[in-house]
Amino acid sequence: MNSKKIGVIVEVDGIYAKVGMYNETNEAEFLWNGEILTGPKVGAYLTINQGMVKIIATVFSEKIIDNQNSANSDEFNNTFSKNTINRIISLKVKGVINNNKFSVSSEYVPMIGNIVSLTTKKELNIIYGLSDNTDAILIGKSLLEEYPIYLPINTIFASHIGIFGNTGSGKSNTLHKLYLELFKSKYIKKISKVSQFYVIDFNGEYTQENQFGLSNQYKRVFKINTRIESKENKIPIKKDYLFDADILSILFDARPATQVPFLRNALKIFNKDIKDEIAFADIEIGFLKRIIQEHRNVSADSLNNWVYAAKALGVDETLLQSLTLHFSIDYGNLKVKTEDNQSILDGEQISDTGLKVLKIVEIRNQLANKYKDLPPIRKLKCFLEFQRVYVSAWKSTNIEHINPLFKRIETSILSLEKVIEVVDNVEDTFKMLNVISLLDANQEITRLIPMLISKMIYDEQKNQVSNDGKVKKTKHLIIDEAHNILNSQFRRNGDDWQDYRLSIFEEIIKEGRKFGFYLTLSSQRPADISPTIMSQLHNYFIHRLVNDNDLEMLKNTMPTLDGYSFNMIPNLGQGEAVITGNSIKVPLLIKVNKETIIRPNSDDVILTSLWK
Ligand SMILES: Nc1ncnc2c1ncn2[C@@H]1O[C@H](COP(=O)(O)OP(=O)(O)OP(=O)(O)O)[C@@H](O)[C@H]1O
Ligand SMILES: [Mg+2]
């Protein structure tokens, strides 16, 4: 198709040129071959035709000259005489299209007399590196030319994406739109088989029915709630990820000097030796026997503490009395004989009589039975209780330092068990899209869950790819309001959470791509996000941003952002954005389409209709 010719080059100065516009093209819009085209605005592209080559330039200013009134004075005003006014547009050359390829180059410069035309949609696609609309999703339209913009599925979704902008600028809408369009594409069937998407939703914006255009066949929503326990909202976490010394030290806020080593040691035994309830009962009975046999060396209250821990597990009190009645080491009083004067101890060992009167076998059975019925998180809690008795019995650890930890363990475990289900395998519990809403989660859990999930699914993905030797499946982690967890400010304050979490996400962002693991982040405060993470993003969607720190951050981390687009950022309207990065090499100004029905639960509140 022919392009619309709008003027001719009348002046050239290096890469700058001026176009004298034909009179009939001085409109904001005009019809051309049945299409409505937008007239050239500042910022828009124009094409300078020079033989086979098309020089691509952007408009940076326009003015009029009055041919009959160069003195610019009222007395000579001929503005309204015919043919006196010329519209002059100034251009800056950006590159060339040669053999259907765009390159940034100054090899060709405009020449006086070259015809200037509106850049066609086809040329625009060549400039942005967009192909036709196969394997692409419609996201919106270009802001200046108002052409529909199709983003390539491959380079967008196989990349780490950053969506930034002030509050209310349209980030959530853009994020949702991107994935909504992907799920609407013809690939959905296969996507649902080989790819999984996890949305971390701090504000419950993506929990409505039909969100992302998906039914429950493809989607599962977890409404994490630390106040009300509900089975179907519990998030499945593999045992190894929860029962991890680093995670639990952070969660229980363990002090480095004594509490962390205590936890580390306890978890080592718990994860390695306590395979089942029998192993548990054997370990704890072994411990009980040692308390009795070495009663001269253990601290005086060890037996009572052991009994206390067993009672907490639910072992029969009357059964436990056999221990305290027949064998007491309280206050140094040793009672090692039964009523009919038989010794409980035979040398160093517990005698057969001892085993009988102390009811060791019965206690062992009860320990095993009670333990068996506990949910995994309680199992750990129970084991830790015994472990506390253990370290205090031989005074290997000052118990005064350990006790405060247990208060925190109790409160943490109370919220943990409401929201987490410890499982052996997570393969089948997650669907294609998983929305994890943290709206009703307390702060502790809000900090914990995103990290657990991310680490877990990342490791799973990494293992799978290492086993298969190539990427057969992909995982996509989408975090709206990412500053909540990727804030780098706290790092200097020695906050363990931040350190641990950032190191996980920094690994994901550095290594994820080769394992088919992709991150999409959205945030109002790019300046708060760790620079390591910011600079490794591949594609950026920048909505309106006004804060200087944020703008500065973008300037430093986005290699493909040009001056013109950068200056536009503070002036963008709702839903307008600059896209740039791997996928779109030349920054592209777009207006993202707003969904009318299915969209995030994040609309501006209209006070006057609320108050009517
Ligand atoms: N492309 C768009 N076109 C028109 N209006 C939009 C567009 N995107 C978003 N909006 C409107 O702007 C408002 C804010 O949108 P959105 O919730 O997406 O912003 P946000 O950047 O995520 O804000 P926050 O940082 O507070 O989460 C909503 O009322 C929404 O309907
Ligand atoms: Mg939002």
Cα(176) to ligand 1 centroid in Å equals: 11
Q: Which two tokens stand for residue 501?
A: 């979490």
The residue contributing the CA closest to ligand 1 atom 25 is 167
Q: Which residues pair with 46 in a beta bridge?
A: 57, 118
The residue contributing the CA closest to ligand 1 atom 18 is 170
- Among candidates 561, 586, 568, which has minimal Cα distance to 57? 586
Positive or negative, the Cα torsion across 530, 455, 265, 411? positive
Q: What is the pLDDT of residue 201?
A: 94
Q: What is the pLDDT of residue 331?
A: 47
Q: What is the pLDDT of residue 518?
A: 96
CA 219 to each of CA 25, 56, 225, 237, 466: distance values in angstroms, whole numbers, following the listed order = 51, 45, 19, 18, 27
Specify the pairing of strand 517-523 against strand 161-164. parallel
Cβ neighbours of residue 521 under 8 Å, at least 6 residues apart? 160, 161, 162, 163, 479, 482, 486, 529, 533, 537
Residues 305-323: tens digit of each pLDDT: 999 999 999 999 888 888 8
Residues 262-282: tens digit of each pLDDT: 999 999 999 999 999 999 999
- Parts of the chain with a pLDDT under 50: 330-332, 491-492
Cα(439) to ligand 2 centroid in Å equals: 13
∠ CA 490-508-239, rounded to 5°? 90
Q: Is ligand 1 within 6 A of the CB of residue 204?
A: no
Q: Is ligand 1 within 6 A of the CB of residue 524?
A: yes
Q: What is the pLDDT of residue 583?
A: 82
Looking at the CA of 544, which ligand is closest?
1
Looking at the CA of 201, which ligand is closest?
2
DSSP secondary structure code for residue 526 in this structure: G
Specify the pairing of strand 195-201 against strand 433-440. parallel
Grouping H, G, I as helix, E, B as strand and the rest as coil, residue 448 is helix
The residue contributing the CA closest to ligand 1 atom 27 is 167
Cα(432) to ligand 1 centroid in Å equals: 26
CA distance 528 to 275: 44
- Residue to probe by mutation, ligand 1, list 141, 173, 439, most atoms within 8 Å of CB: 173
Cα(287) to ligand 1 centroid in Å equals: 61
CA-522 nearest atom, ligand 1: 22
Q: Is ligand 1 within 6 A of the CB of residue 203?
A: no
Cα(146) to ligand 2 centroid in Å equals: 25
CA 54 to each of CA 49, 119, 191, 570: distance values in angstroms, whole numbers, following the listed order = 5, 10, 39, 32
* Number of Cβ atoms within 10 Å of the Cβ of 524: 20
CB 94 within 8 A of CB 126: no
Q: Is ligand 1 within 6 A of the CB of residue 169?
A: yes
CA-592 nearest atom, ligand 1: 1
The residue contributing the CA closest to ligand 1 atom 24 is 167
Stated as kind and residue range, the H or E segment containing 400 is helix 399-419
CA distance 337 to 339: 7
CA distance 587 to 602: 27
DSSP secondary structure code for residue 332 in this structure: G
- Among candidates 410, 420, 419, 421, which has minimal Cα distance to 384? 410
Q: Is ligand 1 within 6 A of the CB of residue 171?
A: yes
- Among candidates 520, 479, 443, 483, which has minimal Cα distance to 166? 483
CA distance 246 to 243: 9
The residue contributing the CA closest to ligand 1 atom 1 is 575
φ, ψ (nearest 5 deg) of residue 301: -95, 10
Q: Is ligand 1 within 6 A of the CB of residue 575?
A: yes
Grouping H, G, I as helix, E, B as strand and the rest as coil, residue 275 is coil
The residue contributing the CA closest to ligand 1 atom 29 is 603
The residue contributing the CA closest to ligand 1 atom 14 is 168
